[in-house]
Amino acid sequence: MLVSIKGDVRIFSYAAVGGAQEAKGPLGRAFDFIDESERFRQKTWEQSEGEMQRIALRKAMDKAGLSDGDVGHLFAGDLMNQCTSSSYGLMSFDIPHVGLYGACSTAAESISLASVMSDTTDSISAAVTSSHFCSAERQFRYPLEYGGQRTPTSQRTVTGSAAFLLGRGRGKIQVKQLMFGRSVDSKISDICNMGAAMAPAAVDTLTRFFEESGTQPQDYDKIVTGDLGREGFEITKMMMAQKGYNLDAVYDDCGLLIYNLAVQDMHAGGSGCGCSAVVAATSLFPAMERGEIRNLLFIGTGALMSPTSAQQGLPIASIAHLVHLSVM
């Protein structure tokens, strides 16, 4: 069902942290903090990912001049087993913590839940997500130095984290509506083609949103999915057109925006919860504040498989959560 946020909840501060490849991409200069070594002064890659979350949230809070006591709740998630990057990385904040797992959809999921919390409790909430290429490779694929080849449909996990602060009465970017996704059996079991696995989930959520809200794609300045990459982007456009929704003029995907795909060897594009989060914080939301985008549909897309489910031959379950944002 369509959820309307009635109480004027706005995203009033945000910050993004990234790694070497993200710095080389077209959005590189918009990051608040970059560590080219991607270590973030930590011993393990998992801790590096947690540290990215800490830096992102600290920067977002500093920008707004907030201290720990001002934030009511934290909604945070990542790709690691048991979401350790969020719980360990954000341990130093004295803020109640709600851990989330939505795979790569977590940016939209955490912003959605944070806005509901801010709406019902009239308090400030934070949404933080991250992914790290090195920790994700270790958990989901092969050791980092393993000499393998990737298929053209494979995507690169973005090393990045972004934090968003939401509350009433400050900032320009208002959260208007939410549409949570349904878990979709994509029938795709190739973990190197997550774009095709997630596209049906994006189509499902978008279609339900247009039907329930009575709007059309042309009512929005931009419709951006999280990390479908080249493959999922094309399939989504095609499937939406079959349903009578022409996305051509307004549609984009964070997986295609984060890297310069013509130069950087990233196959079908970027992925991971960091992908949509950092693209929102470095490109989409600044564009909204400048007034270039007034009405945005931001759709976090997630592939919910685990290494175990993939090895046991289960198809990839996917999900897409939609956030409708608009400029005051």
Partner 1 sequence: MNMDENYKKFAERHAPKSPIVKDCLMAFWVGGLICVIGQAFSDFYKSRGASEETTKMLVPVTLIFLAAIFTGIGVFDRIAKHAGAGTLVPITGFANSVVAPAIDNKAEGWILGLGAKIFIIAGPVILYGTLASVIYGLIYYIVGLF
Place of tokens 């400029």: 327
Indicate the SS3 state at residue 44.
Answer: coil
Q: Is 61 left (phi over 0), alpha (psi -120 to 50) or beta?
A: alpha
With binding defined as CB under 8 A, does residue 151 bind partner 1?
yes
With binding defined as CB under 8 A, does residue 85 bind partner 1?
no
Rank residues 108 and 163 by Cβ distance to partner 1 and give the closer one.
108
Characterize the bridge pairing of strands 156-157 and 160-168.
unpaired
Q: How far apart are CA 212 and CA 312, in angstroms?
A: 37
With binding defined as CB under 8 A, does residue 152 bind partner 1?
yes
Rank residues 124 and 184 by Cβ distance to partner 1 and give the closer one.
184
With binding defined as CB under 8 A, does residue 243 bind partner 1?
no
CB of 309 to partner 1, least distance (A): 16
CB of 316 to partner 1, least distance (A): 11
For partner 1, the binding residue among 8, 70, 221, 234 (CB under 8 A) is 234
Contacts to partner 1 from residues 43-72, by CB under 8 A: 43-45
Structure tokens at 194: 């997550």
With binding defined as CB under 8 A, does residue 322 bind partner 1?
no
Angle 287-58-172 from CA coordinates, rounded to 5°: 30
CB of 273 to partner 1, least distance (A): 22
With binding defined as CB under 8 A, does residue 116 bind partner 1?
no
Q: In the chain, at which residue ranges do the beta strands (DSSP E only) sit?
A: 2-4, 9-18, 33-34, 71-77, 97-100, 124-131, 156-157, 160-168, 173-179, 184-185, 222-225, 251-253, 270-271, 295-303, 317-327
With binding defined as CB under 8 A, does residue 147 bind partner 1?
yes
Contacts to partner 1 from residues 157-216, by CB under 8 A: 182-188, 193, 196-197, 200, 204
Q: How far apart are CA 73 and CA 280, in angstroms?
A: 21
Structure tokens at 285: 């939301």
Rank residues 45 and 75 by Cβ distance to partner 1 and give the closer one.
45
Residues that bind partner 1 in the complex, under the rule CB under 8 A: 43-45, 138, 142-153, 182-188, 193, 196-197, 200, 204, 231, 234-235, 265, 315
